[in-house]
C-alpha cells in the first residue's frame, strides 16, 4: 500500500502556539487504577513494554507504553491486534499514522490512527476536555473496515470513553452499562452507503452482508434509534434517549 502526505509548514505566533492543545504521554506505576463503568481496573503488571490493567480474573485491558490498545479480554471473549499502532506523543489534533497489523483471527490488515479533535466529552464521572482518536482497521483480503474511537483526557490521564463497531461482535456487551443501537431498513442503508462511498448497489450490499444483522444488534440494545426516516424524526429519538441516559 502506497500513500502520499502533503504538509504545509507554518510558523505560528507565540500566543497561537501556546494555545494549541497537546498532551504529553503519561506513565503509570503498579497499583494505579482506572475507574470505568464496568469496574476499577488496577495496573497489576508491566510486561514486554505493556501495561496490563485488570478488574478481576479474565477481565483485562493491555496497553502499550504509548497507550495503544493491544488486547481486551472479557471472559472467553478476546479482542486483539498485533502489532498495535504506535501513537505519536505528545498528542495534537491532526497527528496520524498507519502500519500493518493482524486481527484477532490473524487476518492481515492495515491500521490507521488519527487525532481528530480536542473536545468536551461527557461521561458518568463528569465532563472532560479530551482528544478524540480514531483507529480504522482495514482487513485484507476484502472485509468491512472497522472503527474504534477513544477519548483521552489529559486531566484524568486515561481514556474516559470508547466507541467501537465491534462491541457486540467481540462479546464485549457486558463491559457497558447501556447500549444504544442505530438501525435503518436494509434498502435505506444500501442507498445511503452507495451514495456516500460511490459504490454500486451490489458493492454496498456486499459490505453490509459482512456486518452483523441489525436485528441481532437490536436484541442486545437498551435503546434502539430508527434512522430510516427524516432528520427531525431521528433527532427526536436521540433527544429522548439522551434524556433517559442523563436523568
Give the pLDDT confidence of 108-141 residue by residue, as tens digits.
Answer: 878 889 999 999 988 777 889 999 998 887 766 5
Which overall architecture, per CATH, does domain 22-175 show? Beta Barrel (2.40)
What is the predicted pLDDT for the residue at 5? 36
Query: Mean of the pLDDT values across residues 78-96?
Result: 87
Query: Mean of the pLDDT values across residues 184-209?
Result: 83
What is the predicted pLDDT for the residue at 6? 34
Mean of pLDDT over the chain: 80
Burial 199-221 (b: 16+ CB within 10 A, else e): eeeeebbebeeebeebeebbeeb
Rounded Cα distance, 84 and 51, in Å: 13
92 vs 149 pLDDT, higher one = 92
Q: Are 33 and 42 in contact (CB under 8 A)?
A: yes
What is the predicted pLDDT for the residue at 38? 58
pLDDT winner (highest mean) among 71-85, 96-110, 184-198 = 184-198
Rounded Cα distance, 81 and 99, in Å: 12
What is the predicted pLDDT for the residue at 173? 64
Give the pLDDT confidence of 197-220 residue by residue, as tens digits.
Answer: 677 898 788 767 756 678 878 888
Query: Would you say the C-alpha torsion 59, 63, 69, 71 has a positive or negative sign?
Result: negative
Grid coordinates belonging to 127: 465532563
Grid coordinates belonging to 96: 496520524
Least confident span in 1-5, 31-35, 116-120, 166-170? 1-5
Residue 171 pLDDT grade (very low, low, confident, very high; cuts 50, 70, 90): low
What is the predicted pLDDT for the residue at 167? 63
Q: Which distant-in-sequence residues (6+ apart) come within 8 Å of 12 by Cβ?
A: 20
Query: Mean of the pLDDT values across residues 95-110?
Result: 79
Give the pLDDT confidence of 6-61 residue by residue, as tens digits.
Answer: 333 344 444 444 478 999 999 999 999 887 655 678 999 999 889 999 988 888 88
Residue 180 pLDDT grade (very low, low, confident, very high; cuts 50, 70, 90): confident
Query: In the chain, which segments carry CATH 2.40.360?
Result: 22-175
What is the predicted pLDDT for the residue at 169? 60
- Provide the whole-model pTM: 0.62
Rounded Cα distance, 230 and 221, in Å: 22
Amino acid at each position: 500500500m502506497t500513500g502520499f502526505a502533503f504538509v504545509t509548514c507554518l510558523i505560528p505566533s507565540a500566543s497561537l502556539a501556546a494555545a494549541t492543545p497537546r498532551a504529553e504521554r503519561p506513565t503509570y506505576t503498579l497499583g494505579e487504577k482506572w475507574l470505568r463503568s464496568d469496574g476499577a481496573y488496577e495496573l497489576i503488571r508491566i510486561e514486554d513494554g505493556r501495561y496490563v490493567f485488570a478488574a478481576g480474573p479474565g477481565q483485562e485491558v493491555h496497553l502499550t507504553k504509548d497507550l495503544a490498545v493491544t488486547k481486551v479480554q472479557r471472559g472467553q471473549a478476546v479482542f486483539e491486534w498485533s502489532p498495535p499502532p504506535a501513537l505519536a506523543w505528545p498528542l495534537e489534533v491532526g497527528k496520524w499514522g498507519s502500519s500493518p497489523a493482524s486481527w484477532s483471527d490473524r487476518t492481515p490488515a492495515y491500521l490507521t490512527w488519527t487525532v481528530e479533535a480536542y473536545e468536551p466529552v461527557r461521561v458518568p464521572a463528569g465532563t472532560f476536555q479530551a482528544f478524540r482518536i480514531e483507529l480504522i482497521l482495514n482487513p485484507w483480503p476484502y472485509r468491512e473496515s472497522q472503527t474504534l474511537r477513544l477519548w483521552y483526557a489529559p486531566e484524568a490521564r486515561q481514556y474516559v470513553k470508547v466507541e467501537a463497531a465491534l462491541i457486540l461482535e467481540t462479546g464485549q456487551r457486558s463491559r457497558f452499562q447501556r447500549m444504544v443501537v442505530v438501525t435503518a431498513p436494509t434498502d435505506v442503508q444500501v442507498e445511503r452507503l452507495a451514495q456516500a462511498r460511490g459504490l454500486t448497489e451490489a458493492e454496498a450490499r456486499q459490505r453490509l452482508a459482512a456486518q452483523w444483522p441489525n436485528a441481532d444488534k437490536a436484541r442486545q440494545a437498551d435503546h434502539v434509534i430508527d434512522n430510516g426516516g427524516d432528520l427531525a424524526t431521528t433527532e427526536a429519538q436521540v433527544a429522548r434517549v439522551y434524556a433517559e441516559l442523563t436523568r
